[in-house]
Amino acid sequence: MEISTLATYHCLAFVWYFFVAYSITHVRTEERPSEVFLYGGQWKYLTVLNLVLQAVFYGVSFLADVLRLIKKPRCAKCVISSRDLLFSVLAFPVSTFVSISFWMLYTYNRELVYPKSLDGVIPLWLNHAMHTAVLPFALLEILLTPHRYPAKKKGLSLLVFVGVLYISWVLWIYSVTGEWVYPLFALFSPAGLAAFFAGSLAVIVSFYNFGEFLNRMIWGQSMFWF
C-alpha cells in the first residue's frame, strides 16, 4: 500500500478512536447510573483504557507515515520501532481480548459485565464502537502494515507486566470502595479470583501469540527481532 494511503487510513483511525474515547468520557453525569463511574471514573474499565491505547497507537502510526512521506528516515525509524512495540505488545492483544471476552460474557449474562442500566446511558453505536469494532481494526492493521515483533521473552514480559498493573488497579479500587469494577468478580472466592486473573493473563498471552503468528504468515519471518 502507498504510504500516503496508509497515512490517510491511520489518520482516520486516530480521529475515530479519539472521537469514541471523547464520547465515552463525556457521558452526561446526570444520566449515569449510581453504580457506574464512581471511584476511578471511566479509567477503571479496560474498555476505556483500550480506546485511549488505540488512539495513541494510531497517532504514533500516523506520525511514522508522515515522517516517511517527508523523507526523515532517521526519525521515522525511531517512531516505527515504538509503533511496532506498541502494536505487538498491547494494541493487538488488548483489543482482541476486550472484544472477545466482552461478547462471550455478555452472551452468557450481560449483567456480569454490562448491566442493562447502561442501555439508557451509552448508545448502541458507542457500545459496538468500544467492544466490536476494535477487533476488525486490529486485524486490518496486521493486513495493511508489517510490524516487527520483539523477542518473545521481552514482548511477553512487557504484556504480563501491564496486565499485572491493571489487576493491581482493580484490586486497589476494591480495597477502597468495597465494590468490584465488574460484577463478575463478586462471584469468585479469593482463590477463584486469583485463578480467573491468571487465566485471563494466559488468554491475553495467547492473543499476543496469535498476532505474532498472523504477522509472520502475512509478512514473513524477517519482521521479527532477535
Domain that holds residue 116: 3-28+36-220
One-letter amino acid at 188 equals F
Q: How confident is the model at residue 107 (pLDDT cuts 50, 70, 90)?
A: very high
Whether 225 maps to a domain, the answer reads no
User: Which phi and psi (to 5°) does residue 224 adopt?
Assistant: -125, 145
Look-up of cell digits 464520547: 23
CA 84, chain centre distance (Å) = 15
One-letter amino acid at 189 equals S
Rounded distance, CA 166 to CA 188, Å?
Answer: 18
Whether 109 maps to a domain, the answer reads yes
> Mean of the pLDDT values across residues 41-64?
94
User: Rounded to two decimals, what is the model's pTM?
Assistant: 0.91
Whether 195 maps to a domain, the answer reads yes
Beta bridge partners of 149: 224
For residue 180, what is its C-alpha cell? 468490584
Whether 216 maps to a domain, the answer reads yes
Whether 214 maps to a domain, the answer reads yes
Rounded distance, CA 92 to CA 185, Å?
Answer: 25
> Mean of the pLDDT values across residues 36-64?
88
Q: How confident is the model at residue 225 (pLDDT cuts 50, 70, 90)?
A: very low
Whether 226 maps to a domain, the answer reads no
Identify the CA nearest to 134 among candidates 57, 33, 38. 57
Identify the CA nearest to 54 among candidates 128, 176, 137. 137
For residue 2, what is its C-alpha cell? 502507498
Among 94-103, 132-141, 179-188, the range scoring the smallest mean pLDDT is 179-188
> What percent of the chain is modeled with pLDDT above 70?
92
Rounded distance, CA 155 to CA 30, Å?
Answer: 42
Total number of domains constituting the chain: 1
Whether 204 maps to a domain, the answer reads yes
Burial 4-40 (b: 16+ CB within 10 A, else e): eebbebbbebbebbbebbebbeebeeeebeeeebeee
Whether 59 maps to a domain, the answer reads yes
